[in-house]
Homo-oligomer: A and B are copies of this chain.
Amino acid sequence: MDSVWFGKPRPSSGQPLGLSREAIVRKALEMLDEHGLTKLSMRKLAAALGAAPMSLYWHVPTKDALIELCVDEIYGDFPLPAPDADWEPALREMMHSLRHLALKHPWWLRAIGEFTTIGPKAVAMADSMLEPMLRAGLTTAAAAQSVSTVSSFVTGYALAEANFTARGGMDSSPPDLGKIADLYREKHPRYVEMLNDPAVWTLEGQFEFGLDCVIDGIKARVAALR
């Protein structure tokens, strides 16, 4: 099945009046950030743009394709590390950026899970993650393995984190932890004790701990992987 990336963005010789692929994506991003993935509809998007629903379909083949474009646009916000940075601080910095991106756009990770997007900006990001590792002397496979490992942790963590940080406007509210604790107090006391431990909810610190673990493990292997 062909993806959006293989088709041209439709030639537009005359000056675009009001509607354009870029304008549609921009407004869609705005609405996604504000209301979440499930609340976005082509009709509402068109209304927000002052156009008829079917007008969008000239610029974008389908709703799923539009969301793929939006997902890739987010990859574009990814800040690049300094071109001469050592691999470890570069990797750390990129992973912090990745987490912040995911937390800033809660719909993003969910969309990634559903649409398997590999757009130009996603490729650029992956490429720039590879770069410091290769420069440190790793083989292609080893660099890929390292990057895949850390970014798996980060996306997994951000996914869990986003579930407990759902703010206003999202699709679902976070579960009521007090009720859950009451429900399971006698059957799973260990679990309830964990829920009530304030240290568990220092999400920033938890992330740092996990990131340290993963990077330590990679560091220990970098020598062998060269």
Contacts and interface: CB of A to CB of B under 8 A. Distances in A.
A175 B5 CA distance: 10
Interface stretch (A27-35, A74-82, A112-120): A112-120
Nearest to A216: B217
A136 interface: no
A93 interface: no
Chain A interface SS verdict (over half): helix
Contact of A141 (B120, B149, B199): B199
A6 B179 contact: yes
Contacts of A113: 109-110, 113, 159, 162-163
Interface string A132-170: 001000001101110011011111110110111010000
Contacts of A159: 112-113, 152, 155-156, 159
B156 A190 contact: no
A126 interface: yes
A86 interface: no
Contact of A194 (B140, B174, B190): B140
Interface stretch (A16-24, A46-54, A204-212): A204-212
B174 A116 contact: yes
10 contacts: A3-B176, A110-B110, A116-B172, A116-B175, A140-B194, A143-B194, A145-B210, A149-B209, A149-B214, A152-B153
Interface of A: 1, 3, 5-6, 38, 64, 109-110, 112-118, 120, 123-124, 126-127, 130-131, 134, 140-141, 143-145, 148-149, 151-157, 159-160, 162-164, 166, 171-176, 179-180, 183-184, 188, 190-191, 193-194, 197, 199-200, 206, 209-210, 212-218, 220-221
Given A148-B160, A152-B159, A154-B156, 19 more contacts: A64-B172, A114-B172, A116-B163, A116-B166, A116-B175, A118-B175, A120-B183, A123-B184, A140-B190, A140-B193, A144-B200, A145-B200, A145-B210, A148-B206, A152-B154, A152-B156, A156-B157, A156-B159, A216-B217
